[in-house]
Every structure is written in structure tokens, then in C-alpha cells.
């Protein structure tokens, strides 16, 4: 016989599921078609201009969207500046100094405010810019459901929700599950590490201080480790030292990441750990062998991630300046 508490809990879960479905339903492809017809063109044009000036910015914009969605949901809080009384997400150790692309978002927002004042949210800018960045680097284009509103709170302490580069496969799986993303989607999204760069500080331990027994991570290809040591010398602790995530094609959204992982050339512990689990290993092999399959899975995963914790309707606001609440 079920207790009243169990019945109430079940009803609560049903209501929560309905609320989530309603929120997602309010995101629509072509959301700005009537209120700001040139929105997507303006965003793509600015992303392309930024990419021409610095082809590494595409990876930065993809990462901005990811880091936004994993903290408080996809509501633009990663863009908010710190104030005297509050350290915002962007200034936490998880994001600073590695996150980039803020100035590009500012440029996009200024152009949109000129064309359509107070219409396009900063959160939607991030979703569109991530899509355009993947397309520009050789990925497959896709439609972005939009209609997100912007949040008004940004706390550095909440970046604990971001998966660090030291996570193992079990920790990664749980971290993504907390956001409603599956193990397969976790592996698929990890593939975006095929573009961009990393600061040496994110993997230095794998080269010089892996554990009490060995200084160098034995799962790291020895030749690759030697190359990394040239770029990240032990005696040089400059936090600005960087290396490409995927040396073979650092500015192309291809399956080179998965090939690297299979060859023990995954840069982070969180990359190489994908070989330690049979399910994730199978996904890595499949993606490495079938670029078109990975591209299509990435589209679905990006769209799903873009719905995490969104604010729509009367929730949130359209920030006039992406760096501060109205």
C-alpha cells in the first residue's frame, strides 16, 4: 500500500516533468523571425568577422555556451561582470583566465541593440554564436531553438558545477547526468575539444606530478608528453602558456579529438579517461571512424544542452548589456 508521501512525491515529479516540457516548448526555431528578422544574420556576421581576426575565437565561443549552460542553466550568467561585493562566474578559477569571447559577445549585442533594441537575449546570442562557430570550423549547421531569457545572478562559487579536467569517467558521467545529459551525449560533447587550446596549468600534473609513484601519467603517449614538456616547461609557471587541444587540426571541428584519445594523446585526464570504460570506449571508436555520425550526434547534443535550465516567458529579462543585469 502506497503512503501519502510517496503519492505526493510522484505527483511532484510529474508536475516537474510537465514544467520542464513547457519551458522547452517555449524555445522555438525562428523565434526572432517577426521581432528581429536579421538577428541570426547579425550574429553569424560578427562571429565570422571575429574568426577572421582570430581563428581561435570559435572554440572560445563554443566553450562560453557550455560554461553558461552548466551553471544556473543557459541564461547568460557567465557573461556578467564581477562587482565590488560579488565575484561572478567569469572570474572563478574554473573560468579565468581560460574563458574568452566576451568582447565578441559585446560586439554582437551592440549590433543587435542598434537593429532591434531590447529584443535578443544574451543567452540566445551564446547559443547562436556556438552554432556558428562550429559551422565556421567545418561542422554541420543546425537550427537553434531560441527564446531564452537572461538571468540576473552570477556567483563564482556555483562554478563547482563545471567538470574539471581532472575528472574520471564516473565523475564525468554523473556531472552530465546532473544536467539531464546521457553518457553518449557526454562523449559526443567532449569531442568539441577538437578545436581550441588549453592552458598548461590544466594538465601540468600529468607531466610532472602525476602521483606519489610516478611523475608522468603512464596513460599519456610518451612522445606526446615530451612535446608538451617543450611547450610547458617545469620551471615556467606562466599561467598564460597554452597548447592546442588537437595539434593536428586545432581549428577544424573534426574527429581528430577521438583519434587522439585512442592514441593516448588526450590532453586532459577527463579526455583520456574515456578509454577506461567499455561504453565510452565504444563511443570513442565509433566517432573516430564515422565523422558524419559524430557531426549529427553533436547537433542533437548541442540543441539538448542548450535547453538546460533555460528561463522563458515571464522568467528572467532581456539584458541590455550582457555584462550586467538591467
Residues identified as active-site: 67
Residue 144's nearest CA partner among 211, 51, 65, 219 is 65
Angle ∠(234,240,246) on CA atoms, nearest 5: 85
Beta-bridge mates of residue 293: none
Distance CA 273, CA 270 (A): 5
Q: CA–CA separation, 73 vs 15, rounded Å?
A: 20
65 annotated to bind ligand: no
How many whole angstroms separate alpha carbon 77 and alpha carbon 325?
9
141 is in an annotated binding site: no
Report whether 221 belongs to an annotated binding site.
no
Residue 254 marked in a binding site: yes
193 appears as a binding residue in the annotation: yes
Determine whether the annotation assigns residue 68 to a binding site: yes
Can you spell out the DSSP letters for 58-110? HHHHHHHHHHHHTSSSSSSGGGPPPBTTB--GGGSTTTTTT---HHHHHHHHH
Distance separating alpha carbons of residues 225 and 140, to the nearest angstrom: 32
DSSP classification of residue 312: -
Question: Which SS3 state, helix, strand or coil, does residue 12 take?
Answer: helix
177 vs 174: CA distance, rounded Å: 5
Is 147 annotated for ligand binding? Answer: no
- List, in sequence order, the alpha helices (H) in 159-290: 169-177, 183-190, 204-208, 222-231, 256-262, 269-272, 278-289
Q: Is the dihedral of CA 168, 184, 31, 62 positive or negative?
A: positive
Q: Which three cell numbers stand for residue 196?
A: 581550441
The verdict on whether residue 188 carries a ligand-binding annotation is no
> Is 89 assigned a ligand-binding role in the annotation?
yes
Give the residue numbers of the binding site.
Answer: 68, 71, 73, 77, 89, 163, 193-194, 254
Give the residue numbers of the binding site for Ca(2+).
Answer: 68, 71, 73, 77, 89, 194, 254
Amino acid at each position: 500500500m502506497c503512503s501519502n508521501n510517496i503519492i505526493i512525491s510522484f505527483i511532484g515529479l510529474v508536475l516537474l516533468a510537465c514544467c520542464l516540457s513547457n519551458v522547452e516548448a517555449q524555445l522555438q526555431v525562428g523565434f526572432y523571425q517577426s521581432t528581429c528578422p536579421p538577428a541570426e544574420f547579425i550574429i553569424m556576421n560578427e562571429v565570422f568577422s571575429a574568426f577572421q581576426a582570430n581563428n581561435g575565437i570559435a572554440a572560445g565561443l563554443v566553450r562560453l555556451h557550455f560554461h553558461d549552460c552548466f551553471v544556473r542553466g543557459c541564461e547568460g550568467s557567465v557573461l556578467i561582470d564581477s562587482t565590488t561585493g560579488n565575484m561572478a562566474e567569469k572570474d572563478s578559477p574554473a573560468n579565468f583566465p581560460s574563458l574568452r569571447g566576451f568582447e565578441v559577445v559585446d560586439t554582437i549585442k551592440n549590433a543587435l541593440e542598434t537593429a532591434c533594441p531590447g529584443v535578443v537575449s544574451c543567452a540566445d546570442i551564446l547559443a547562436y554564436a556556438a552554432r556558428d562557430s562550429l559551422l565556421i570550423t567545418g561542422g554541420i549547421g543546425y537550427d537553434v531553438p531560441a527564446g531564452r531569457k537572461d538571468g540576473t545572478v552570477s556567483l563564482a562559487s556555483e562554478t563547482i558545477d563545471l567538470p574539471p579536467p581532472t575528472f574520471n569517467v564516473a565523475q564525468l558521467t554523473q556531472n552530465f547526468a546532473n544536467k539531464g545529459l546521457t553518457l553518449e551525449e557526454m562523449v559526443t560533447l567532449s569531442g568539441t575539444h577538437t578545436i581550441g587550446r588549453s592552458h598548461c596549468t590544466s594538465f601540468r600534473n600529468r607531466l610532472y606530478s602525476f602521483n606519489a609513484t610516478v611523475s608522468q601519467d603512464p596513460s599519456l603517449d610518451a612522445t606526446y608528453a615530451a612535446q608538451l614538456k617543450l611547450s610547458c616547461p617545469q620551471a615556467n609557471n606562466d599561467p598564460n602558456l597554452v597548447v592546442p587541444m588537437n595539434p593536428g587540426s586545432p581549428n577544424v571541428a573534426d574527429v581528430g579529438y577521438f583519434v587522439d584519445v585512442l592514441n593516448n594523446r588526450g590532453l586532459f585526464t577527463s579526455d583520456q579517461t574515456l578509454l577506461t570504460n567499455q561504453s565510452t570506449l565504444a563511443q570513442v571508436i565509433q566517432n573516430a571512424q564515422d565523422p558524419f555520425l559524430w557531426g549529427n550526434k553533436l547537433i542533437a547534443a548541442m540543441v539538448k544542452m542548450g535547453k538546460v535550465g533555460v528561463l522563458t516567458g515571464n522568467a528572467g529579462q532581456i539584458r541590455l548589456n550582457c555584462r550586467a543585469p538591467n
